[in-house]
Amino acid sequence: MTKFTVITITYNAAAVLQRTLDSVLHQTYEDVEHLIIDGASTDGTLQMANNYKVLNTQHKVIIHSSPDEGIYDAMNKGLTQASGDYVVFMNAGDFFPAPDTLEQIAHRCHLNELPSDSLPAVVYGNTDIVDAEGHFLHPRRLQPPEQLTWRSFRHGMLVCHQAFYARMDLAKNTQYDTRYRYSADVDWCIRVMHEADRLGLALTNAHLTVACYTEEGTTTRHHRESLRERYRVMVRHYGHLSTFFMHCWFVLRNLL
């Protein structure tokens, strides 16, 4: 059976963590590993995580708490410890839209019918945006294409990080670049897809909403800095001219 590793990064996240833990707890898919990588929280986060570990007898739960150098350093720590066939980052406040989300992904993408070396490099899906209380607001504005490639992100991050399931062997060989403070997730997804293209591996659309993403986050709070950094990421992968003209189109599109 294909094993999913869910990695949740936390730091003083007690106010929003419970809905994330509940959504993993109630997943009907059996082979799930849940890594909670905590940055030495001082609120009730660790107590909440430990209570959840006692309750979740169906899935393997690992909790690691220590100071880190930021969210992407914590994500790299999670990748180092992960042991599944696929990894997805579901951070505090984000959650699966239904108890059978992972089961539906495995079924729709035939993951349990394929040999491990033939599994898609990436499985991806749609995302819903929720408010700070976890209430549905709207589908994410950027929608995943029918056929995703590493070049697709020239048009923006068409697949949300929480809706991007990377095959573990590729993920472990593609660490997050901690020089970026806000956009290492964009860079990481592009590099994973680029490696998939080099190896001739598929990127598979699950045709399913696979994540609920909380609107307020680090990138939202630091919007201008994030945009500047994301521009540098795009230049790194797609070149100056392509990135410049695509951003001109982004500006024009927002004015229409």
- Looking at residue 95, the DSSP 8-state letter turns out to be B
Task: Please state, in angstroms and as integers, the Cα–Cα distance from residue 88 to each residue in 43, 137, 142, 230, following that order.
Answer: 25, 22, 19, 21
Averaged pLDDT for residues 96-106: 98
Flag whether pLDDT at 217 surpasses 60: no
Could you tell me the pTM of the whole model? 0.93
By the 8 A CB rule, do 163 and 210 touch? yes
pLDDT one-digit tens code per residue, 31-55: 999 999 999 999 999 999 999 999 9
For 174-206, how does the pLDDT look when each residue is reduced to its tens digit (9 = 90+)? 999 999 999 999 999 999 999 999 999 999 999
Helix %, strand %, coil % for the chain, to 5?
45, 20, 35
CA atoms within 13 A on the CB side of 241: 0
C-alpha to C-alpha distance for 78 and 9, rounded to whole angstroms: 8
pLDDT of residue 218: 46
In the numeric block, which tokens belong to residue 110?
A: 């035939």
Please tell me the predicted confidence (pLDDT) of residue 224. 83
The phi, psi pair for 189, rounded to 5°, reads: -60, -45
Q: Quick: pLDDT tens for 146-176.
A: 999 999 999 899 999 999 999 999 999 999 9
Query: Using only C-alpha atoms, what is the Rg of the chain?
Result: 18
Q: What is the mean pLDDT of the chain?
A: 93
